[in-house]
Amino acid sequence: MKNTVLLLGAFFLFSWRIAAQDRPNIVLIFSDDHTYQAIGAYGNQLARTPNIDRIAREGALLRNNLVTNSICGPSRATLLTGKYSHKNGYKRNDRTLFNVDQFLFPRALQDNGYQTAYVGKLHLNSLPQGFDYWNILPGQGYYYNPDFIGQSKDTVRQEGYVTDLITRFSLDWIDKRDTSKPFFITIGQKATHRSWEPALEDLGAYDDVNFPLPASFYDDYKGREAAARQDMSIASTLRLKEDLKIGIDFDNAFGYRRLTPGQRAKIKSYYEKVAEDFKSRNLSGKALTEWKFQRYMKDYFATANSLDRNIGRVLDYLKEKGLDKNTVVIYASDQGFYLGEHGWFDKRFIYEESLKTPFVIKYPGVIQPGTTVDQLVANIDWAPTLLDLAGVKAPSEVQGQSFLPLLKKNSKEVKWRDAVYYHYYEFPEPHHVYPHFGMRTERYKLVRFYGGIDNWEFYDLRNDPGELKNLYGDGSSKTIRALRARLKALAESYEDDEALALLKE
Ligand code: SGN
Ligand code: CA
């Protein structure tokens, strides 16, 4: 009898382990403010992103992956919960404490036999929950010699460049994991967040490139009051000193005090040459604005070089360890970003460049190489999709749905949503973008700005992809009336009471 029990026990343990190994490992590389226009696979010819492109080539590229509130903390809160900001409680990047007692998908993965880890930028004013291992940056973190808070709760300064360190800690954890269980890890990169500080080996990597000005660089914001009143322009908001490092005191300035003498010497010597060149040009007006744009682009793209190189490190590691076949690798960013479109940097607006975020995913044997997905996916779908990959069902409070069927063969036949609902809140700091809610369909966009102004905007993306002509008028056209009804229905279905109250007025 005893032997039978033992034998049965061993059998169950064995089959559970087999099942565990059948389920894929999942690596989510999640960056900050790295936009799709800056990626080769999304059509940028100047960007050097061979490793992101490699994921897209070996798997799928999502062309319309939209965020539902385009800033950092809210995007991460939605990642963890699969819910809109008004449901998960994290609407703004302020001192709100993220409620960790609600449903969090990593906890569901743990409950289903996964080992989980979170490394890098979290930015939720709370410590990670649902992770067996974590090591995070406090707040926004630093690029050079950053601090990390680990599970002992001690803050430890690490020497090196943030993107390399986050990758190293992530791979160290994978190396030491319990190999009898599948694993999930978020590698949460700080790059390419403002103020775009490249790794030492990447300083000047794009100095020989002249970045073309986007067509809407000199937007006059006609008929778009919120756009006219923002404070995120390259011409007036971007700071010569803190952002573009002209005349910065590298011995004392924020983020640079922590440099070692060797690091400081390299950074100083690079930017001092930039500053000398700048002074000799004596620029003003449009020439000055365009110079700022070039410098912004050069530092932004150079910062992304390390991001891509470290993605390559992860891919190479998985291959070397024989983990590549059974590991899903995702690269995504928390939102898109303006690279001079409308004359801007930063994000927040429902307009395309900050609404859409890059998302590429590979899963050998399940997703065919070179797949592209055009359907409207949203970041509320990320949690249910990750759970689906692990064979776990999302609870009903999750507002998104798994898009795994769209990644598989014959995705055109899958019935899918035809509109994504959006709601942004943070105002007035730091960039004076009025709160707004709205929706994006395949062809149209309808938006309502509030909180000090009260304006509707309507765009026909087929004829005006740059969103320069607000066609709302008096709102009486048949298309607009139908879309308003649709917007209300969406706000009702997601139970967004704040928006519904405004729609009643
Ligand atoms: C900082 C930046 C802003 C940026 C927010 C939010 N200013 O406040 O430009 O919009 O973070 O970014 S800085 O002077 O500190 O660089 S987010 O990605 O965390 O949402
Ligand atoms: Ca961000």
Range of the domain at 434: 423-503
C-beta of 123 in contact with ligand 1 (< 6 A): yes
Same-domain pairing of 457 and 402: no
* C-alpha of residue 404 to centroid of ligand 1, in Å: 32
* C-alpha of residue 353 to centroid of ligand 2, in Å: 13
Same-domain pairing of 364 and 437: no
Q: Which of 134, 137, 175 is nearest to 156 (CA)?
A: 137
Q: Which residue, by CA, sits nearest to atom 5 of ligand 1?
A: 430
**Mean pLDDT for all residues in the chain:** 95
Predicted local distance difference test score (pLDDT) of residue 469: 98
Q: Which of 225, 278, 311, 363 is nearest to 48 (CA)?
A: 311
Predicted local distance difference test score (pLDDT) of residue 166: 98
Same-domain pairing of 392 and 482: no
CA pair distance 416, 267, nearest whole angstrom:
49
Instruction: Give the domain-ending residue among 396, 416, 436.
Output: 416
Q: Judge whether 39 and 47 are in contact, CB under 8 Å.
A: yes
C-beta of 53 in contact with ligand 1 (< 6 A): no
Whether residue 9 lies inside any domain: the answer is no
Q: Which residue, by CA, sits nearest to atom 17 of ligand 1?
A: 72
Instruction: Give the domain-ending residue among 400, 416, 432.
Output: 416
**The pLDDT of residue 17 is above 80:** no
* C-alpha of residue 74 to centroid of ligand 1, in Å: 13
**The pLDDT of residue 19 is above 50:** no
Nearest ligand by distance to the CA of 354: 2
Q: Judge whether 44 and 308 are in contact, CB under 8 Å.
A: no
CA pair distance 153, 156, nearest whole angstrom:
9
Whether residue 19 lies inside any domain: the answer is no
C-beta of 191 in contact with ligand 1 (< 6 A): no
pLDDT for 286-295, tens place per residue?
999 999 999 9
Whether residue 4 lies inside any domain: the answer is no
Q: What is the CATH number of the domain that holds 438?
A: 3.30.1120.10
To test the pocket of ligand 1, the residue of 93, 242, 345, 357 to mutate (highest count of ligand atoms within 8 Å of its CB) is 93
Domain count of the chain? 2
Same-domain pairing of 403 and 433: no
Whether residue 20 lies inside any domain: the answer is no
Q: Which residue, by CA, sits nearest to atom 12 of ligand 1?
A: 72
Kindly report the pTM of this predicted structure.
Answer: 0.95
Predicted local distance difference test score (pLDDT) of residue 15: 44
C-beta of 190 in contact with ligand 1 (< 6 A): no
Instruction: Give the domain-ending residue among 416, 433, 459.
Output: 416
Which residue stretches of 183-260 are H helix? 225-228
Q: Mean pLDDT over residues 321-340, rounded? A: 98
Q: Which residue, by CA, sits nearest to atom 2 of ligand 1?
A: 194
3-class secondary-structure state, position 420: strand
CA pair distance 437, 421, nearest whole angstrom:
8
Tell me the CB-side half-sphere exposure of residue 281, using CA atoms within 13 A.
15
Q: How many CB atoms lie within 10 A of CB 505?
A: 6
To test the pocket of ligand 1, the residue of 125, 193, 245 to mutate (highest count of ligand atoms within 8 Å of its CB) is 193
Query: In the chain, what percentage of residues exceed pLDDT 70?
Result: 96
Whether residue 56 lies inside any domain: the answer is yes
Q: Which of 115, 109, 112 is nearest to 80 (CA)?
A: 109
Q: Which residue, by CA, sits nearest to atom 13 of ligand 1?
A: 194
Q: Mean pLDDT over residues 153-177, rounded? A: 98
C-beta of 426 in contact with ligand 1 (< 6 A): no
Predicted local distance difference test score (pLDDT) of residue 22: 84
Band the pLDDT of 409: cuts 50, 70, 90. Answer: confident
Q: What is the CATH number of the domain that holds 116?
A: 3.40.720.10
**The pLDDT of residue 14 is above 60:** no
3-class secondary-structure state, position 99: coil
Same-domain pairing of 152 and 285: yes
Whether residue 319 lies inside any domain: the answer is yes
Predicted local distance difference test score (pLDDT) of residue 228: 98
Nearest ligand by distance to the CA of 67: 2
Predicted local distance difference test score (pLDDT) of residue 3: 54
Same-domain pairing of 37 and 123: yes
Same-domain pairing of 330 and 470: no
Predicted local distance difference test score (pLDDT) of residue 21: 57
* C-alpha of residue 346 to centroid of ligand 1, in Å: 8
C-beta of 430 in contact with ligand 1 (< 6 A): yes
Give the tokens for residue 207. 């100095």
CA pair distance 56, 66, nearest whole angstrom:
18
CA pair distance 109, 375, nearest whole angstrom:
27
Same-domain pairing of 377 and 410: yes
pLDDT for 215-232, tens place per residue?
999 999 999 999 999 999
**The pLDDT of residue 1 is above 70:** no
The closest-lying atom of ligand 1 relative to the alpha carbon of residue 431 is 10
**The pLDDT of residue 10 is above 70:** no
Same-domain pairing of 409 and 435: no
Same-domain pairing of 199 and 157: yes
Q: Which of 269, 334, 253, 337 is nearest to 301 (CA)?
A: 337
Long-range contacts of 415-419 (CB under 8 A, 24+ apart): 416/375, 416/376, 417/375, 417/376, 418/376, 418/442, 419/376, 419/486, 419/490
Predicted local distance difference test score (pLDDT) of residue 4: 52
* C-alpha of residue 391 to centroid of ligand 1, in Å: 36
Whether residue 2 lies inside any domain: the answer is no
Q: Mean pLDDT over residues 301-328, rounded? A: 98
Same-domain pairing of 234 and 101: yes
Give the tokens for residue 11. 């059998």
pLDDT for 446-489, tens place per residue?
999 999 999 999 999 999 999 999 999 999 999 999 999 999 99
Whether residue 16 lies inside any domain: the answer is no
Q: Mean pLDDT over residues 158-162, rounded? A: 98
Same-domain pairing of 400 and 433: no
